Every structure is written in structure tokens, then in C-alpha cells.
A = this chain, B = another copy of it.
Amino acid sequence: MDFVKKHIVKPGESVNLKSVRTEPDGPFEGKEEAREYVEETIQKLRALQYRLYVEGKQSLLIVLQAPDAAGKDGLIRKTLGRMNPQGVRSYPFKVPTPIEQAHDFLWRVHQCTPAAGQISIFNRSHYEDVLVVRVEDLVPKRVWSKRYEIINQFESLLAERGTRILKFYLHISPKEQLERFKERLDYPEKHWKLNVGDYEARDRWPKYLEAYEDVFKKCSTKDAPWFIIPADKKWYRDAAVASIVHETLQEMDPQLPTVQVDLDEIRRLYERELAEMDND
């Protein structure tokens, strides 16, 4: 099941998002099989994450971008968030605060990049500064058009220091999005999410696709590739992302430090003392 090969955007590749499937195309028979695969993969992920943490040399940055309701939160809650929280942090980037606005666009994300041994998950990211900012015309073109190269330089800086970067676009169809908006009406716990703005943003869907296509063409690099994940089916989305993260951690191959102590000596020491305790 080579999800990496299937979904990666090669450096410089032009993508026409409308022609990319939002529905899965194999390899699972269906939901159940995919869910089992996710469970197994998470266990393997956790074991590798432990090694990454103990090794303390490399780190991993996972960037999630998607239209509303495509499932960034669900993916974190049900899959990526099941790693050990001592080694993984999730950062939601929302409308910039006044302090964030008063800095360059990379300032707030730079503070959240993972330290050695750690994993950061960005729920939205610096890419909003060439997506929403472009489509909603928040800064002039001469400003945002320079940002692709700035982003590439920033990401190579991270890569240079030992950070692997995986960037996922969760690709859903407009119809699936609308179905999910509608579902929220049936769950009182989700009513706070209802927002007429979400619905209206749908008019700008084609402009967003165009902005994403530019991102993929300009910013999918060897060090920091983009992946386009068919996300109409949640079980496929979770399986594909878990698999790509797992494969990446395997490649990073974190090593446990070699132990300098004399295990036998320590064992004798412990056994002697335990015996004494029993005699007390």
C-alpha cells in the first residue's frame, strides 16, 4: 500500500485539483478493513515516536490544510492525536491576533516548530498567507507572490536542522462538504460551528482551488513534500495519512542511545537491596 507514491506532489508538478479524485480508489475493501489498518499503524507509530523522543535528534512537522469540514480536527482527534502527548503538540492557527499581525507572517509559526525529538501538528499554517490572504485579497499580490520562495527557504532551514516536513491537503468535493455542514444541524454539540460565512465562502471555492494549485506547484519540495489526500471518506483519509507518517518515521529510523552502564552490576545491586528489604 504505497500511499506516499500515490498521493505525493512531485517537485514542480502541475496539479489540476478538479481532476484529482476525492473518493478512495483501493486498497481497502471498505471501512472496517481501513479502520483495522489505522489501529495497527497507530501502534507502530507510537513505537517509532518513542524512539524519536528518546533519540532527541530529529523532529517531524505535520502541516494540515483543507477546506472547512474536510476533517482536520477529526484526523487529529481520531488518528494523529493518539501519539504520546509528551512528544507531540497540535497548534491551531486562526485569524492572526494583533500581536501576530504586528510581526512577519512566519513569526507565529516559527515558535511552534518541533524541537529535536518532538512532533508538531499545524492545523492550518503559514500557507494561509498565500491562500485566504490571496483569495480574500487581504494583502496586495506583490506581497503574497513573494511568499512562496520565502516559505521554501524557511522550510529548508528547518530541514537542515533535522526536521522532516509532511504537508497534507485534505481533498473533499463541494457536495461532501455541504453534506457535512448539513450533518452539523443534527448534532446540538456541533451547532456552535454553524456559520453562514462557511456557506458563503463556497462561492470562492474555484479561487481557493487555484490558490492551492499554485502552492502545490511552487512549494512541494524534496524536503517538504505536499500530499493530496482523497478525503470524502474519513476512513481512507485517516489510513492514508497514518501510513505516510509511519513510512516517514521508518525512513528517519530514530535510534535508541547506546547504554554505557554495566547492566549486570546494577542488577546485582538491586537484587541485594530487595533481599535486604524482604528481611526487614
- Give the B-binding residues of A (Cβ under 8 A): 50, 54, 73, 76-77, 80-82, 84-86, 88-90, 92, 121, 123, 174-175, 178-179, 181-182, 185, 188-189, 191-192, 194-196, 199, 256-257, 259, 261, 263, 266-267, 269-271, 273-274, 277
- The answer for the CA separation of A261 and B155 in the assembled complex, in Å, is 41
Would B86 and A188 count as touching, CB distance under 8 A?
no
CB<8 Å pairs between A and B, sample of 16: A73-B86, A76-B84, A76-B85, A77-B84, A77-B86, A81-B85, A82-B82, A85-B121, A174-B277, A178-B274, A182-B267, A191-B259, A194-B261, A194-B266, A196-B266, A199-B269
Chain B residues with CB below 8 A from A123, complex form:
86
- The answer for the CA separation of A174 and B276 in the assembled complex, in Å, is 12
10 smallest A-B Cβ distances: which pairs?
Answer: A81-B85, A191-B259, A182-B270, A85-B90, A192-B257, A86-B90, A175-B277, A77-B84, A194-B261, A185-B267
Chain B residues with CB below 8 A from A277, complex form:
174-175, 178
Q: Which secondary structure characterizes the binding site on chain A?
A: helix
- The answer for the CA separation of A121 and B84 in the assembled complex, in Å, is 13
Chain B residues with CB below 8 A from A178, complex form:
270, 273-274, 277
Chain B residues with CB below 8 A from A270, complex form:
178, 181-182, 185, 199
Assembly stoichiometry (copies): 2
Q: Known: A182-B271, A274-B175, A274-B178. Is A192-B86 also a contact (CB below 8 A)?
A: no
Would B76 and A185 count as touching, CB distance under 8 A?
no
Closest chain B CB from A74 CB (angstroms): 11
Would B81 and A84 count as touching, CB distance under 8 A?
yes
Would B256 and A189 count as touching, CB distance under 8 A?
yes
Would A185 and B263 count as touching, CB distance under 8 A?
yes
Chain B residues with CB below 8 A from A185, complex form:
263, 266-267, 270
Chain B residues with CB below 8 A from A82, complex form:
82
Chain B residues with CB below 8 A from A50, complex form:
189
Would A182 and B274 count as touching, CB distance under 8 A?
yes
Q: Which residue from chain B places its CB closest to the CB of A202 in the assembled complex?
A: B273
Closest chain B CB from A63 CB (angstroms): 15
